[in-house]
Structure 1
Amino acid sequence: MKRTPAALWIWYRGTDFRGFQRQPEGNTVQEALEDAMKKAGVPYPIMPAGRTDRGVHARMQVASVRLPPCYTSEMLSERLPPHLPPDLGLCVARRPVPGFHAQWSAAGKEYRYRIQLGGTASAAWLPYVMEPHTEPRLEGSVLKPERVAELLGAAVGRRDFHAFHEHSSLRKPRTLESSTLHELGGGLFEVRLKGDGFGRYQVRYLVGSALLTAAGALSEEHYRAALDSGTTIPGLKAPAKGLLLWEVRYPAELDPFTPEERARVPGLPQTPPFALPSEPDTEAAA
């Protein structure tokens, strides 16, 4: 009998994980998930939509896996959660349509990055936000949200982001569909970036370099030249703790998950970094 495919939607807080991909040093998301699946009766490897680095969180990571014969996604939904560690959880397990693949079927992703641009981060949010004053190159700078929003918005379009990702990532044109800054309240802001693909550290370098430019520590001329032509700049890689993989998008005909599930995620903790503050969400003017 053939093994049946399943699509898993998982969440995790990346603080205590050494990234997603299994490695000899251990304590990765992949290791924890695959070990839990073995205990649940599924001793097979997974294929994620992408890999996140050490300390990065995910509201929506998607993985493909094959289930043993006669083993259903409903069975996995019941048997897997008791074996998962506290900072890793399952939202949905579902049998996808034929041809679905978590990575190769993806049409795009959305990342969110949290920054404390004013006031002081609350104790609950402190592990999940960047505080610019802790970065030596930003210490003492006054960062105006409007200026940060303007610089982030300049990155939108199809371009070579070579200056904003690790050179180990394939150099190719990528489309950044939107890049906006939103005020969440209490001085906490959120960068929202949607695109068809991202190189390694691209979000962190883009956010960090926009902050560096807004602070006057990097010239706007050099920042925009890096966007326009891929010219190398002494950018800033923002810390991992502020970054959250928010959503993985698929074409409607392949998407294993319903619009209702995407809007109201089942099983997602209603705590940081997933649940937003209760203050009204407004977009900062560019």
Structure 2
Amino acid sequence: MSLSTSNKRIPVALWIWYRGGNFRGFQRQPEGPTVQQALEDALRAEGVPATVMAAGRTDRGVHARMQVVSVRLEPGDSPSALEARLPARLPPGLGLCRVRAPRSFHAQWSASGKEYRYRLWLGGAKAPEPWAPFVLDVAREPGFESARVEPDRLEALLSLATGTRDFIAFHEKSSPRKPRTLESAALHALGADLYEVRLKGDGFARYQVRYLMGSALKVAAGRLPEEHWRAALETGVAMEGFKAPAHGLVLWEVHYPPELDPFTVGERLHPPGLPLEPPFHFG
């Protein structure tokens, strides 16, 4: 005898945000706390005993303005009810923007691309509060002492990385080696000496953004010749790069085809419940 629709679990998409410094990465692990552990514990306390499936993992220290997870609610529950009661169960540094019930959706496999943003302080003086914990203060990073990085130079180097290519020189070998498309890599001035690199692509391997950022900075600072950067991009040959620290990186947005996207354009522009203070301030 088949179950009625009312007895079936309800697939939903959760838009969550978090500050990476509060967790040891996204994926559950024995050493916790992790975002997955905290979220699943909160869901379990609200009658949702399920394992979440995320759009992708973030490493320890990486923040997320928009992380999307798939989960199934128990019969009789609803997205609006969960959206109202779950935030009170979440720990500091982890929050909920929306819960939606899309059709034929998987947080990871339905995604068409992602946008990451990396924040930099390029000034001579120390990075000011409240941004200091969320930016790479380049001149004070070991190996960059007294370095001067010109914004135009950095943006020109990053623009060379756009297009479809094998990024094997810029990611962990544990990630599959395959062509990936970096659609854009643009530098935006946020005021004073604060900058933000916005990287959009169809998918990113582990540490890819951090190695791209760190290696481009090393070349822009004159610590490596540009020929090494070009060779790594064009042939995949290894270079003596630099993995930029996690605290400057934000998973900004996960993209889905319009027919599958659980969230509206308005919600994406003005996320409900998202803190405006760093690291999420700029749109």
TM-score (norm 1): 0.95
Corresponding residue of 1:23: 29
Paired amino acid for 2:204: F
Query: Which one of 179, 187, 191 corresponds to residue 181 of structure 1?
Result: 187
What is the alpha-carbon distance in structure 2 between the residues aligned to residue 173 and residue 191 of structure 1? Answer: 22
Query: Which one of 119, 132, 139 corresponds to residue 114 of structure 1?
Result: 119
Corresponding residue of 1:103: 108
**Superposition deviation, residue 80 in structure 1:** 0.5
Corresponding residue of 1:65: 71
8 Å CA contact 1:100, 1:254 repeated in 2:
yes
1:94 aligns with 2:94: no
* Deviations 1:35-69, CA, capped at 9 Å, x for gaps: 01111111111000000000000000000000001
What is the alpha-carbon distance in structure 1 between the residues aligned to residue 10 and residue 33 of structure 2? Answer: 28
Corresponding residue of 1:158: 164
**Superposition deviation, residue 132 in structure 1:** 1.1
8 Å CA contact 1:115, 1:190 repeated in 2:
yes
8 Å CA contact 2:140, 2:146 repeated in 1:
no
Question: Unpaired runs of 5+ in structure 1?
Answer: 282-286
Query: Which one of 183, 191, 196 corresponds to residue 202 of structure 2?
Result: 196
**Superposition deviation, residue 120 in structure 1:** 3.0
Corresponding residue of 1:232: 238
Q: CA RMSD in A?
A: 0.9
Corresponding residue of 1:284: none
**Superposition deviation, residue 133 in structure 1:** 2.2
1:84 aligns with 2:83: no
Corresponding residue of 2:59: 53
**Superposition deviation, residue 245 in structure 1:** 0.2
Aligned to 2:30, the other structure's residue is in SS state coil
8 Å CA contact 1:120, 1:187 repeated in 2:
no
* Deviations 1:145-190, CA, capped at 9 Å, x for gaps: 1101100111000000000011111100000000011110120000
Paired amino acid for 1:107: S
**Superposition deviation, residue 139 in structure 1:** 1.2
What is the alpha-carbon distance in structure 2 between the residues aligned to residue 211 and residue 79 of structure 1? Answer: 44
Corresponding residue of 1:206: 212
What is the alpha-carbon distance in structure 2 between the residues aligned to residue 271 and residue 140 of structure 1? Answer: 29
Paired amino acid for 2:256: Y
**Superposition deviation, residue 90 in structure 1:** 0.3
What is the alpha-carbon distance in structure 1 between the residues aligned to residue 223 and residue 159 of structure 2? Answer: 19
8 Å CA contact 2:121, 2:136 repeated in 1:
yes
What is the alpha-carbon distance in structure 1 between the residues aligned to residue 193 and residue 12 of structure 2? Answer: 41
Query: Which one of 261, 271, 276 corresponds to residue 277 of structure 2?
Result: 271
The count of corresponding residues between Structure 1 and Structure 2 is 276
What is the alpha-carbon distance in structure 1 between the residues aligned to residue 89 and residue 240 of structure 2? Answer: 44
1:13 aligns with 2:10: no
What is the alpha-carbon distance in structure 2 between the residues aligned to residue 183 and residue 79 of structure 1? Answer: 38
**Superposition deviation, residue 141 in structure 1:** 1.1
Paired amino acid for 1:130: L
**Superposition deviation, residue 86 in structure 1:** 1.5
* Deviations 1:59-88, CA, capped at 9 Å, x for gaps: 000000000011111111011010001200
Aligned to 1:166, the other structure's residue is in SS state coil
Paired amino acid for 2:115: E
Corresponding residue of 2:4: none
**Superposition deviation, residue 135 in structure 1:** 2.2
Paired amino acid for 1:175: T
What is the alpha-carbon distance in structure 2 between the residues aligned to residue 79 and residue 16 of structure 1? Answer: 22
Aligned to 1:194, the other structure's residue is in SS state strand
Paired amino acid for 2:117: R
Q: 1:30-41, aligned counterparts within 5 Å?
A: 30-41=36-47
The alignment-based identity, stated in percent, is 64
What is the alpha-carbon distance in structure 2 between the residues aligned to residue 12 and residue 245 of structure 1? Answer: 10
Corresponding residue of 1:128: 134
